[in-house]
Amino acid sequence: MVTEKSTSGVSRRNFLQAVGAGSSAGVMFATMGAMGLAPTAAAQPRAESWVPPRGSDFSLTGRSAKKVVVVGAGPAGLATAYELQKAGYRVTVLEARHRPGGRTLTIRGGDSETDLDGVRQTARFADGVYMNAGAGRIAQWMVTLDYIRELGVPYEVFTNANADAYLYNERSGATPGNPVRYRTAKADVFGYTSELLQHAADQGALDQKLTAADKENLRTFLRSWGSLKSDGTYTGGSNRGYEVYPSAWNEHGTPLPGPGTVSEVLASKVGQYFPFEINWEQSMLMFQPKGGMDTTYKYLVRAIGNQNVHFESPVTGVENTSRGVRVTYTPKNGRPRQVEADFAVVAAPAGLMRRWDTNWGPAVDAALGEFSVGSPAGKIGLQYRSRFWEDDHRIFGGITETDMDLAHVWYPSYGYGERKGLVVGYYNTGTNARTYADLAPKQRELRAVEQGVKIHGEKYRTELESSFSIAWHKVPYIEGAWAYPNTSSAGFRLLQEGAGNVYFAGDWMSEVSAWQHGAFWSARYAVQALHQRVMSS
Amino acid sequence: MVTEKSTSGVSRRNFLQAVGAGSSAGVMFATMGAMGLAPTAAAQPRAESWVPPRGSDFSLTGRSAKKVVVVGAGPAGLATAYELQKAGYRVTVLEARHRPGGRTLTIRGGDSETDLDGVRQTARFADGVYMNAGAGRIAQWMVTLDYIRELGVPYEVFTNANADAYLYNERSGATPGNPVRYRTAKADVFGYTSELLQHAADQGALDQKLTAADKENLRTFLRSWGSLKSDGTYTGGSNRGYEVYPSAWNEHGTPLPGPGTVSEVLASKVGQYFPFEINWEQSMLMFQPKGGMDTTYKYLVRAIGNQNVHFESPVTGVENTSRGVRVTYTPKNGRPRQVEADFAVVAAPAGLMRRWDTNWGPAVDAALGEFSVGSPAGKIGLQYRSRFWEDDHRIFGGITETDMDLAHVWYPSYGYGERKGLVVGYYNTGTNARTYADLAPKQRELRAVEQGVKIHGEKYRTELESSFSIAWHKVPYIEGAWAYPNTSSAGFRLLQEGAGNVYFAGDWMSEVSAWQHGAFWSARYAVQALHQRVMSS
């Protein structure tokens, strides 16, 4: 068992970050050595820079390649197997479900899922129509994109923000048939807040904080940002959009009604959705693999070798032995089997591991309990026979936001202009997700459509062809959408060290939970720890 | 000659818009009839809704199809020919240049252009690399997208806004190697302006304008929008982005330096670029045809029939005759020829028509002078052997803004992750465009690269393979980038009426100048006017 505790102190870590930023990992490791912090078998890797293990690490040192069993064929598990195998490790991946990807699930026509209540759905989607039932977006800075590019997965823009998507706050007065578009809401909120700030500055209310030069710079910004008139007031303007857009021959466009008063605009609470677009995780540009998010994992399985990835092989036991690890699983229609290896990397939902036969002890079990992937989230895919959101509403991709229990509506970022299309009719979490999860699939559809009609009109009902819904906390072998990990806890440090020859990985062990980026990085750090251990033994 | 003046008064037009909005053109025309405004041969079409002429308009009324000569194979000319031909008109298009598209010019490897000074450039771009030297973007609401979809042109997202693109204001203190990313600039500007507004509201400075409820709604918005701390101050945060992004295992990311003080942020003038993204014409989502903007016009030529579109056939005369129109042109290596037709639609740059032999008289000539497409604009395409803006800077598409004379840098919205790529190294207008236009192509490249290095580092110089630049006011038969039309002028009304059997079209006759949308709508209105004339004769 690895028992040495983490030595990470904030000030020391910050110093190392300052050294490591922009320099090679080698330089940083040298610095760490000078500080008495050079990595040992038990130390956590602290490199910002990822140094993947290489085959030459074995060949040049005369060591024999080790065998690793990876539990879980989601992003963390497959990345673990992929990186280890590239360095010469012999890997076997055991996956409980019938397909790779874990929570990056793509549903296509013919796909079936049976939930923990025994409710079975089969998607009746047309060719080329799919639903990303789990992860749906990749920011350009995320390591996910590196894997996609390394593997050669085709990718395309994911539209996470669209000026023509709608906002519909029913509890703040929005009425059926009258959603407001993002662009209109932004013009009004930015217009009025600019007017207010300009007014305050003009009145001298900010003279304690702003110089005359500051005020002039502020005025220049606000006038343009808020579309303010020369007298400093906001009265609307072209950035709100149009009922009919300007064209030619003196057709200057048909303005939209409004704007309402500053009180009305603030009371509509449309501004609550704007921070999303400037959020560090959510800002455009974003991407998705062409054909569905799980494409990346199909490529990973192919890279690792189909023969090395065993589906429908749920693990029931992971034990440290005197020679390494022993993993017990039950292949489809078979008897329990055991596989022996030097190490195991377990990349399954943390809470589920506590049900296995293990000998890592109660402290690790308790720690795993802290990182349970238990939050509920749900989505429904609504396949329509026409793309009325594009043809009639002129919305090509993006997300409509509501305060109804459907929460978000996603328009597809693929297949623009094709005949059919699929809208994610709800994407919700927490209580809202449980509300839908407790309904039968057809009732979920009816509820989502009833709400969506308020925004999109009757076609949202009449053009519907079929639906498929998922409730993540009811998916066997997953049982939740994500964790909210507290990685500064003692439990986390325990899991980070691993349990004997067992390491743990998963987005729930990352600083970016619920993202493939976090899962991949957790895998890299687990691989790095395992490999350093092997190299120093 | 059509001499009846336009009857458009604002109040009447507004009424018709109110009737027309959301109802069919037929209903509106009936209303117009009841008001004594039913269209006559001489009246301008006033429909928001476009009612294309149909073949049955001829066959059902026993009329014979008319012949129309269209001058210009840009967006307005080709759309005119396309719509007329669909309705049974016989069309001939005469284009002065060697290719269709006009200012929607795409430069690929092997393409050559010779400017008015006789300077010839041939692009040495790799296969699949292209530069949209003119029009580059299409908003989702624009009619351009309708034509693209109708023609079956493949299209993809154009990235007009990217949180990771840079801002570089040298005249406000930015130094080489230290551009700021959009996301950082936004976090700081929105953070401080939110702090200031919250402070003013807390001090009671807005009590004349806001109720207690308004203030509470405002507070909720500002706290989130500005990432304010509980004490109402802005001190940075994750939305600024990171030097190294958070990953896993307690790697919480390496923050960027900053933020500066409110004075520094305001003085950096980064906020001046933010209104662009909420502009009615520029807001995402936007598109581009795959393979280059001129693809649409290749499809249009194919639809019209290659045999009906004559390139390298500059027109030198357009005359009304007793039987229609006579158009004189000079085919390549040939003698001047004349073509007779019932009508002509002239969709060439307005200023150039004044050099032709015409009999439409000095008033029309003077009006054309008002709509000269004379504004200068320039672009350079820089082909790089690696996509370092993606690999090193992690910028996938979008636009970097500067206050240097290169103005804008566009990263490509196609070919993500491929080996080579093309950056638009400058896109500038006015004085800046003239500065570059006055240089030899190699000097333009050197100047653009010298500036770009300040933002992107030395690779911006060392990875460069070749370049191609355009100065629109030096392109033969075009001689400018766009006009700033005053469509409320008497001159405009004259052109709108046409001159005898000659109609005019072009983005310079639209309310959305410099956009394909404006060109297409001007074509539609010209077609509508011509067709109504034919149907009522």
CATH no. for residue B251? 1.20.1440.240
Token representation of residue A453? 């009609």
Could you read off the pLDDT of B498-535 as tens digits, one per residue? 999 999 999 999 999 999 999 999 999 999 999 999 99
Q: What does the pLDDT average to over A446-474?
A: 98
Could you read off the pLDDT of B388-419 as tens digits, one per residue? 999 999 999 999 999 999 999 999 999 999 99
Q: Which of B474, B500, B515 is the last residue of a domain?
A: B474
Q: Let me know whether A288 and A392 are in one domain.
A: yes
Q: Let me know whether A149 and A257 are in one domain.
A: no
- Are residues B181 and B161 in contact, defined by beta-carbon separation less than 8 angstroms? no
Contact (CB<8Å) B247/A271: no
Q: Let me know whether A231 and A326 are in one domain.
A: no
Confidence check: pLDDT of A40 > 90? no
Q: What does the pLDDT average to over A512-525?
A: 97
Partners of residue A155 in chain B, C-beta under 8 Å: 416-417
Confidence check: pLDDT of A414 > 50? yes
Could you read off the pLDDT of A55-97 as tens digits, one per residue? 888 888 888 889 999 999 999 999 999 999 999 999 999 999 9
A-interface mutation test, from B24, B216, B249, B497, most A Cβ less than 10 A away: B249
Q: Does ipTM surpass 0.85 in this model?
A: yes
Q: Let me know whether A110 and A239 are in one domain.
A: no
Partners of residue B189 in chain A, C-beta under 8 Å: 221
Q: Let me know whether A63 and A89 are in one domain.
A: yes
Give the per-residue pLDDT at A252: 94
**Cα of B149 to nearest chain A Cα, Å:** 7
Q: Which residue of B has its CA nearest to A199?
A: B206
Could you read off the pLDDT of A464-509 as tens digits, one per residue? 999 999 999 999 999 999 999 999 999 999 999 999 999 999 999 9
The tally of domains found in chain B comes to: 3
User: Does B33 map to a domain?
Assistant: no
User: Does A302 map to a domain?
Assistant: no
Q: Let me know whether A359 and A506 are in one domain.
A: yes
Nearest by CB to B248, which of A157, A287, A510? A510
Contact (CB<8Å) A45/B249: yes
User: Does A160 map to a domain?
Assistant: yes
Q: Residue A274 and residue A276: Cα distance in Å, rounded?
A: 5
Contact (CB<8Å) B278/A522: no
Contact (CB<8Å) B245/A164: no
β A343-346/A337-341 pair status: unpaired
Token representation of residue A169? 């706050």
Chain A to chain B, count of Cβ pairs less than 8 Å apart? 312
Q: Residue A333 and residue B330: Cα distance in Å, rounded?
A: 81
**Cα of A457 to nearest chain B Cα, Å:** 14
> Phi first, then psi: what are they for A334, rounded to 5°?
-130, 180
**CATH number reported for the structural domain that contains residue B323 in this entry:** 3.50.50.60
Contact (CB<8Å) B221/A187: no
- Are residues B402 and B170 in contact, defined by beta-carbon separation less than 8 angstroms? yes
| Run of H or E residues at B59 | helix B55-59
Confidence check: pLDDT of A11 > 90? no
User: Does B115 map to a domain?
Assistant: yes
Partners of residue B45 in chain A, C-beta under 8 Å: 249
Give the per-residue pLDDT at A45: 37
Identify the domain containing residue B359 by its residue range: 56-98+311-373+482-536
User: Does A41 map to a domain?
Assistant: no
Q: What is the CA radius of gyration of chain B?
A: 27
**Cα of B2 to nearest chain A Cα, Å:** 16
Q: Which of B474, B495, B510 is the last residue of a domain?
A: B474
Confidence check: pLDDT of A255 > 70? yes
pLDDT band at A177 (very low <50, low <70, confident <90, very high): very high
Q: Residue A292 and residue A97: Cα distance in Å, rounded?
A: 18
**Residue B416's closest CA among B241, B290, B298, B293?**
B290
Nearest by CB to B159, which of A157, A272, A274? A157
Nearest by CB to A521, which of B18, B247, B517? B247
Contact (CB<8Å) A199/B221: no
Q: Let me know whether A468 and A382 are in one domain.
A: yes
User: Does B298 map to a domain?
Assistant: no
Residue with token string 């929570």: A103
pLDDT band at A193 (very low <50, low <70, confident <90, very high): very high
Partners of residue B240 in chain A, C-beta under 8 Å: 280
**Cα of A443 to nearest chain B Cα, Å:** 33
Residue B302: count of CB within 10 angstroms of its CB: 11
- Are residues A513 and B247 in contact, defined by beta-carbon separation less than 8 angstroms? no
A-interface mutation test, from B247, B418, B507, B510, most A Cβ less than 10 A away: B247
**Residue A290's closest CA among A126, A62, A130?**
A130
**Residue B185's closest CA among B199, B198, B172, B197?**
B172
Q: Let me know whether A380 and A428 are in one domain.
A: yes
β A67-71/A90-94 pair status: parallel
Contact (CB<8Å) A271/B239: no
Confidence check: pLDDT of A7 > 80? no
Contact (CB<8Å) A245/B218: no
User: Does A177 map to a domain?
Assistant: no
**Cα of B359 to nearest chain A Cα, Å:** 24
| B258 burial via Cβ count (<10 Å: 0-12, 13-18, 19+) | middle
Q: Let me know whether B353 and B491 are in one domain.
A: yes
> Phi first, then psi: what are they for A377, rounded to 5°?
-155, 150
Contact (CB<8Å) A278/B186: yes
Could you read off the pLDDT of A362-412 as tens digits, one per residue? 999 999 999 999 999 999 999 999 999 999 999 999 999 999 999 999 999
Nearest by CB to B183, which of A48, A241, A283? A283
The partner residues of B254 in beta bridges, in order of sequence, read B244
A-interface mutation test, from B251, B252, B411, B487, most A Cβ less than 10 A away: B251
A-interface mutation test, from B234, B263, B284, most A Cβ less than 10 A away: B284
Contacts by residues A437-442 (CB-CB < 8 Å, ≥ 24 positions apart): A437/A376, A437/A378, A437/A471, A437/A473, A437/A474, A440/A119, A441/A119, A441/A121, A441/A467, A441/A468, A441/A469
> Phi first, then psi: what are they for A201, rounded to 5°?
-65, -40
Nearest by CB to A266, which of B187, B217, B525? B217
Confidence check: pLDDT of A14 > 50? no
Confidence check: pLDDT of A35 > 50? no
Q: Which residue of A has its CA nearest to B43?
A: A249
Strands (E), B227-336: 242-244, 254-255, 286-289, 309-310, 315-320, 325-329
Could you read off the pLDDT of B304-344 as tens digits, one per residue? 999 999 999 999 999 999 999 999 999 988 999 999 999 99
Low-confidence stretches of chain B (pLDDT beneath 70) = 1-48
Q: Let me know whether B288 and B400 are in one domain.
A: yes
Give the per-residue pLDDT at B24: 35
Partners of residue A203 in chain B, C-beta under 8 Å: 205
Among left, alpha and beta (phi > 0; psi -120 to 50; other), residue B457 is: left
pLDDT band at A48 (very low <50, low <70, confident <90, very high): low
Q: Which of A430, A458, A474 is the last residue of a domain?
A: A474
> Phi first, then psi: what are they for B68, rounded to 5°?
-130, 130
Partners of residue A149 in chain B, C-beta under 8 Å: 417
Could you read off the pLDDT of B367-388 as tens digits, one per residue? 999 999 999 999 999 999 999 9
Q: Let me know whether A452 and A416 are in one domain.
A: yes
Partners of residue B247 in chain A, C-beta under 8 Å: 48, 143, 510-512, 517-518, 521, 524-525
Confidence check: pLDDT of A54 > 80? yes
Could you read off the pLDDT of A218-236 as tens digits, one per residue? 999 999 999 999 999 999 9
Q: Which residues contact A87 (CB under 8 A, 6 or more apart)?
A: A52, A53, A54, A55, A57, A58, A531
User: Does A72 map to a domain?
Assistant: yes
Give the per-residue pLDDT at B48: 54
Q: Let me know whether A380 and A469 are in one domain.
A: yes
Contact (CB<8Å) B244/A17: yes
The three-state secondary structure class of B525 is helix
Partners of residue A285 in chain B, C-beta under 8 Å: 159, 162-164, 396-398
